[in-house]
Structures are given as C-alpha cells and as structure tokens.
Amino acid sequence: MSDGGWRVIEHEERPGAFHARPIPDALDRQVWVSRPTAPALVLGSAQRDDVVDRDACARAGFEVVRRRSGGGAVLVVPGQLVWVDVLLPAGDPLWRDDVGRAFLWLGEAWQRALAELGVPAAVHDGPMVRTAWSDLVCFAGLGPGELIQRRADGAAAKVVGISQRRTRAGARFQCAALLGWDPATLLALLALDDAARDAAATALAGVGAPVDRPAGAVLDALLGQLPT
C-alpha cells in the first residue's frame, strides 16, 4: 500500500524477526508497521547482553531481541506500543547528513499527528539528555527529534522515542509511541539487584507519557502527516 508517496508495509511477526530485517540496498520511502505477535524486551544495538535477566524473561515469556539502532531497552507488548520504522533513502530531500538533526522532520510529523488526536506534545530540539538510567532504559533519556510532554513539576516525559540506523542506502528511523508506561515490568526483566530496581522504579515512574488513543488512530494520524 502507498500513502502520500510512502510505501507502507505491515509486518505481523515476532519482534525478533522484525528487528532482524536489514535496510534494503535499493531503498525508496517506506514505512514498516510492526504488529508484534509476542512480547519482547528489545535492546539497543550497543547494550551488553548481561543487562538482561534471561531467566526472568523466560519465565515471563518475553523474547530478548536486539535492534539495529542505538539507545536503551524498550518493552514491546502488543497493545501497549505503536512501533513504526520510517525508511528514508540517502539523497532524499528530507535527508540530513547531521545525524543529530536527521529526524527532526520526523519528530515534527509526530507532533502534528498527536495534535490531530488532541494530544499536546513538543519536539525536543536541544542536545541529548542523559540520566542515570538512560543507558539502560530508552525512555529514561531524550534525544533531539523525540516527543515530550511537560509534567506538573516541569520535567519532560517522553511520548515518542526515535532512534536511527544508517547504511549507504539510507536511514531506518525506529519510532516507539507509548500507549502505556509500565516500568515495573521492564525492570523485572533486567539484571538488577533489589536496591537498584527499587531506585530505578522511583526514578522512572514519570519518564514516559502514554498516548491515550487507539493504536490504529495513532498510526493513521502519523501516515497522514508524513511529508510528501
């Protein structure tokens, strides 16, 4: 299917199969919609294997997956996340050589999509924000182009996380929009002692801001806002 110059491909499969897909050598504008058939803990490309409690994941029925883009761990549970990969060929008018600003346009598309759904959000246009837990958990940090809401205390809560992987053919921007935020389940799958887990649960309680809208509506709004 095509949507405004973007080829939309739906992948109904296990998260491991989805994240193993390479960027095609011959690339056009594509949107890959992940429809996960099982839950998974998705690690960033540079994370160490020993951050995971494999026994806990096995007991809970979570596949452990490594994505091809950077950042911290993301919990993928059907119905709690909208995961969309946006693939952009090198040389496209939207292409930016500066990796730090490469997907600001995509963050702006997400912002317009959320506004259409009545969900206020802002694009983070500043430098990378790191915290004590951001190397471990994706939504604990903040990068340029990602979407935030301001909490009552003034702190930023991430609504949409975006990471990227580049090849000579182009870029794969991996987007995760929260429909629910459950740090306790995520932390239970990581190799932490009780004290660290308790500290992380407190620190991460408000760092994610769920979009209180149906997944299909979120996806349709995004597709309608991608630049043509």
Question: What is the per-residue pLDDT for 55?
Answer: 98
Assess whether pLDDT exceeds 70 at residue 87. Answer: yes
Average pLDDT over residues 198-218: 96
Name every residue whose Cβ is closer than 8 Å to that of residue 216 and which is 6 or more positions away in sequence: none
Question: What is the per-residue pLDDT for 227?
Answer: 96
Phi–psi pair at 104, nearest 5 degrees: -60, -40
Residue 2: band (very low, low, confident or very high) from pLDDT cuts 50, 70, 90: low
Identity of the residue numbered 96: R
Distance between CA atoms of 30 and 121, rounded to whole angstroms? 25
CATH architecture of 2-225: 2-Layer Sandwich (3.30)
pTM: 0.94
Question: What is the per-residue pLDDT for 94?
Answer: 97
* pLDDT tens-digit series, residues 113-152: 999 999 999 999 989 999 999 999 999 999 999 999 998 8
* 147-150 β-sheet, strand order: 2-3, 6-13, 30-36, 81-89, 170-178, 156-166, 147-150, 122-123
SS3 108: helix
Average pLDDT over residues 7-22: 97
Assess whether pLDDT exceeds 70 at residue 4. Answer: no
SS3 37: coil
* pLDDT tens-digit series, residues 165-193: 999 999 999 999 999 999 999 999 999 99
* pLDDT tens-digit series, residues 31-79: 999 999 999 999 999 999 999 999 999 999 999 999 999 999 999 999 9
For residue 159, give the nearest of 171, 150, 169 by alpha carbon: 150
